[in-house]
Chains A and B, each alone.
Chain A
């Protein structure tokens, strides 16, 4: 691709896939050395367009641009400024939240929104407007973005703020899946913490009804709140689960031995999974055993002190854990339905448990208020997440779940999406036309493209 006018070594054809390892496609990957390389790549875009990619943790195809150019933003990874007084940080889009946390903790500063893994970039967090276990009180990532620099299709770099003259573009970029431009760096608002530990209340609850009822009480008293539930065991324990809720531990809540180094980043990675797992590792039998163990290992216990990995990111202990699902990969199905549509949650859990498809890692959480971004996923209500290895019949199950979600007034999360139809997705996001208008104004030729945008006609 000599049309790009970039140095030869910076361009490489690579097969890319999402975290679910489904639908790989190849693209020309650019490793930028600075803003100018990003702008050059945008200006030289061919007919298959340009896309930014971070750590590739979205499950489906949002960070792929088959046949086009993909800019590896992890090459731009400088932290520019940490402002202790105002509790803000300015960092390049390619900096991971893992790095940010490690750097910020000694300052007693904390990212208010952390997803289920720390291995995502700032740019990706903005593009997907990610959320975490704190959504019911803190909202999504976009609620804490003070400003960011966006390289747009015309080759300009604009600084955007939530309420500035380009506010529309700011909010269209949050959750905009990288299709409005390329975020170069961002300034984020931070929380202050006294320690890197959590005081965790764990409750083992043996029916779905009780699990949801318990989670609906006092949720706002905790900064983090989430349930795991059992989607394998049928019968009266269908949907039994573990509710874990926590607050940041203050200094005097820590055991004496941890008080000397309260801000220690305690997050080990135990092992990296080898790529040797055959398909079908997760089946009815192993699924049942896993669910039983997972349920039994967490008896009700209040006030336990846990570290970041134990409480927030247990899966980060295992590198490349997606390999366990085998070569055909897996998909994550995540939706939200409004409060009042609790029946849809019950029905979906029943459908999944009786489907023959096995999901071990299931999450149920209450979302708080939505923000102003037209494509932001979280809306007030219940969000449910399941992981399914790809196998015959999964298409039919997911289509039935789509119908259920749609009729309950809910929606799917684009960062997880990998198989729905364009029609269904558009009906789930009533403000999509507003977003498209903003996008068309800033990128009339459609320079920013992804496999996701092709598949779902975004």
Chain B
């Protein structure tokens, strides 16, 4: 159960090695004992992440999960809920891909769409059903500012996040009154493993900063948050720029 001041007792992390996801786990674990289910591709990275959380006092289960296999998601989610209620579920898996390959190579494009969009939707559907039965819980999905307006420099990734964003925004409404709260998080550029080697954009964030925004959103029950918060106003301006102007911006 999530208590009156917003502390959960259990966390299910899809994308079990996600830097942001693990930072969220660490923050919740600092307040109350936390049971964590790390759903991700089995391997040393997942095991190492689990060990780190155990060292900080969490009870951790590793759960094999492949975002590319949507047909298995129902079974994976069933296993995740088998040991008791799940208070917070964080959908934090995704790939960035290489933009130029992504819009020219059919397999690369499909991979991005399948992982970032199809996988997020199938996981969302399965988790939403469990949460409805459980009658409480928080479901958080990591979208992106890239979902707000397609840019030449990363529109394939942006399109997958736009799809995810729409799905979870709609799910927020569908689950209203069921005791389940959905939060869509739109981070700007985050310096993580996923963006290694890229030059940071303005207002860039660390995984820890985004985690703070997510934890705060779960505690206050906010349904849409930006990381950092001023990104909302930046994107609001960018979104309304005429195309000839927008095109010339170095973003």
Q: B4 contacts A419, CB within 8 Å?
A: yes
- Which residues of chain B come closer than 8 Å to A66, judged between CB atoms? 1, 85, 134-136, 179
Q: Contacting A418 at CB < 8 Å: which of B4, B85, B221?
A: B4
Closest partner residue, chain A, to B178 (CB atom): A26
The yes or no answer to A328 lying at the interface (CB within 8 A) is: yes
Q: B134 contacts A67, CB within 8 Å?
A: yes
The yes or no answer to A331 lying at the interface (CB within 8 A) is: yes
The yes or no answer to A394 lying at the interface (CB within 8 A) is: yes
Q: B1 contacts A455, CB within 8 Å?
A: yes
Min CB–CB distance A64 → chain B (angstroms)? 8
The yes or no answer to A454 lying at the interface (CB within 8 A) is: yes
Q: Contacting B135 at CB < 8 Å: which of A27, A60, A329?
A: A27
Closest partner residue, chain B, to A70 (CB atom): B135
Min CB–CB distance A389 → chain B (angstroms)? 11
Q: A454 contacts B4, CB within 8 Å?
A: no
Main secondary structure of the interface of A (DSSP, over half): loop
Q: Contacting B5 at CB < 8 Å: which of A13, A419, A451?
A: A419
Q: Contacts A395-B31, A454-B85: A20 and B4 contacting too (C-beta < 8 A)?
A: yes
- Which residues of chain B come closer than 8 Å to A65, judged between CB atoms? 135
The yes or no answer to A381 lying at the interface (CB within 8 A) is: no
The yes or no answer to A409 lying at the interface (CB within 8 A) is: no
- Which residues of chain A come closer than 8 Å to B64, judged between CB atoms? none
- Which residues of chain A come closer than 8 Å to B178, judged between CB atoms? 13, 15, 26
Q: Contacting B3 at CB < 8 Å: which of A25, A48, A455?
A: A455
The yes or no answer to B220 lying at the interface (CB within 8 A) is: yes
Closest partner residue, chain A, to B134 (CB atom): A67
Most buried by B among A20, A22, A26, A27: A26
User: How many CB-defined contacts (below 8 Å) exist between A and B?
Assistant: 76
Q: B5 contacts A395, CB within 8 Å?
A: yes
- Which residues of chain B come closer than 8 Å to A23, judged between CB atoms? 1-4, 136
The yes or no answer to A61 lying at the interface (CB within 8 A) is: yes
Count the A residues whose beta carbon is within 8 Å of the partner chain — how many? 31
Min CB–CB distance A238 → chain B (angstroms)? 25
The yes or no answer to B195 lying at the interface (CB within 8 A) is: no
Min CB–CB distance A348 → chain B (angstroms)? 18
The yes or no answer to B177 lying at the interface (CB within 8 A) is: yes
- Which residues of chain A come closer than 8 Å to B31, judged between CB atoms? 395
The yes or no answer to A68 lying at the interface (CB within 8 A) is: yes
Complex-state Cα separation, A419 to B220, whole angstroms: 15
The yes or no answer to A115 lying at the interface (CB within 8 A) is: no
- Which residues of chain B come closer than 8 Å to A446, judged between CB atoms? none
Q: A26 contacts B5, CB within 8 Å?
A: no
Q: B179 contacts A24, CB within 8 Å?
A: yes
Min CB–CB distance A16 → chain B (angstroms)? 8
The yes or no answer to A398 lying at the interface (CB within 8 A) is: yes
Complex-state Cα separation, A402 to B4, whole angstroms: 15
The yes or no answer to B144 lying at the interface (CB within 8 A) is: no
The yes or no answer to B9 lying at the interface (CB within 8 A) is: yes
Q: A48 contacts B135, CB within 8 Å?
A: yes
- Which residues of chain B come closer than 8 Å to A48, judged between CB atoms? 133-135
- Which residues of chain B come closer than 8 Å to A328, judged between CB atoms? 220-221
Closest partner residue, chain A, to B9 (CB atom): A455
Q: Contacting A26 at CB < 8 Å: which of B85, B135, B220, B221?
A: B135
Q: Contacting B136 at CB < 8 Å: which of A394, A395, A398, A451?
A: A451
Min CB–CB distance B133 → chain A (angstroms)? 6
- Which residues of chain A come closer than 8 Å to B5, judged between CB atoms? 22, 331, 390, 394-395, 398, 419
Q: Mark A325-337, 1 if CB is under 8 A from B, else 0.
A: 0001101000000
The yes or no answer to A99 lying at the interface (CB within 8 A) is: no
The yes or no answer to A421 lying at the interface (CB within 8 A) is: yes
Q: Mark A134-145, 1 if CB is under 8 A from B, else 0.
A: 000000000000
Q: B133 contacts A67, CB within 8 Å?
A: yes
Most buried by A among B5, B85, B221: B5
Min CB–CB distance A223 → chain B (angstroms)? 34
Closest partner residue, chain A, to B5 (CB atom): A395
Closest partner residue, chain B, to A26 (CB atom): B179
The yes or no answer to B32 lying at the interface (CB within 8 A) is: yes
Min CB–CB distance A71 → chain B (angstroms)? 15
Min CB–CB distance B131 → chain A (angstroms)? 9
Interface of chain B residues 5 through 48 with chain A (CB within 8 A) = 5-7, 9, 31-33
Q: B136 contacts A67, CB within 8 Å?
A: yes
Complex-state Cα separation, A15 to B179, whole angstroms: 6
Closest partner residue, chain A, to B31 (CB atom): A395
Q: B3 contacts A26, CB within 8 Å?
A: no
Min CB–CB distance A423 → chain B (angstroms)? 8
- Which residues of chain B come closer than 8 Å to A68, judged between CB atoms? 135
Interface of chain A residues 36 through 84 with chain B (CB within 8 A) = 48, 60-61, 65-68
Q: Contacts A68-B135, A395-B31: A419 and B7 contacting too (C-beta < 8 A)?
A: yes
Which B residues fall within an 8 A CB radius of A?
1-7, 9, 31-33, 85, 133-136, 177-179, 216, 219-221
A and B contact pairs by CB, cutoff 8 A, 22 listed:
A15-B179, A22-B3, A22-B5, A23-B1, A23-B136, A24-B179, A25-B1, A26-B177, A27-B135, A65-B135, A66-B135, A66-B179, A67-B179, A329-B4, A331-B4, A390-B4, A390-B5, A392-B216, A419-B3, A421-B32, A454-B1, A455-B1
Please name the 5 residue pairs, one residue from A and one from B, whose CB atoms are nearest each other, closest first: A66-B135, A67-B135, A418-B4, A22-B4, A26-B179
Contacts A48-B135, A421-B32 aside, 11 further interface pairs with beta carbons under 8 A come to A15-B177, A22-B3, A23-B136, A24-B179, A25-B1, A25-B136, A26-B136, A65-B135, A395-B5, A419-B3, A451-B136
